[in-house]
Amino acid sequence: MSQEGFTIDLRALARDERNFQATVPVAALARLASTLMQPVGNLSFEFQGERDDEGKLYVDLQIQGDLVLQCQRCLEALTWSCDVQNRLLLLGPGEQVPEDELENDDADAIELEARTNLLELIEDEVILALPIVPRHENCETPAGAGVDEDISPFAVLRNLRGKV
């Protein structure tokens, strides 16, 4: 499936309460792949649209798959099971967040253009979900190696997203 097939009108999907699911190779998600130790495996995702009684549009999003990160203690590969579940409130261009949603933590409001590249959206969600300092539960620091625990760039992105 080409990138084109993943660019859809997501608000129309929600309005019609349709479902979209697919599996993509991790290597096809360049920004995510560049943060991984090995860009191998697949991610499966599903968008389920929903239109509530007031006409508000939502999608429930699920993303699953195993990603190979680098343990920040022993520096060996670490398989992390991605399991993102998020509910998005879909806003049209320029549309404000409804007042009753401002204090609602159940859904993240997101403003969309007419067409949305689903791969970019799931890539953002997975990058936000990555552990900041991935580590095995039990492993040893290699002799002489320092552990760098500087703030990850993902923490910055996470803060930006939190203000939507």
Q: For residues 101-140, which are near Zn ion according to CB under 5 A?
A: 136, 139
For residues 117, 8, 46, 83, the Cα torsion angle rounded to the nearest 10 degrees is 10
Break the chain down into helix, strand, coil percent, rounded to 5: 25, 35, 40
C-alpha span between 123 and 107 (Å, rounded): 18
Which residue stretch of 13-21, 59-67, 72-80, 116-124 sits at the interface with Zn ion (rule: CB under 5 A)? 72-80
Residue 71, interface with Zn ion (CB under 5 A)?
Answer: yes
User: Is 72 near Zn ion (CB under 5 A)?
Assistant: no
Distance of CA 18 to the CA centre of its chain: 20
Looking at the Cβ atoms of 15 and 135, the one nearer to Zn ion is 135
49 vs 88: CA distance, rounded Å: 10
Q: How far is the CB of 73 from Zn ion (least distance, A)?
A: 5
Residue count, binding to Zn ion (CB under 5 A): 5
x-or-dash pattern for Zn ion, window 21-60, by CB under 5 A?
A: ----------------------------------------
Per CB under 5 A, 11 contacts Zn ion: no
Q: Return residues touching Zn ion (CB under 5 A).
A: 71, 73-74, 136, 139
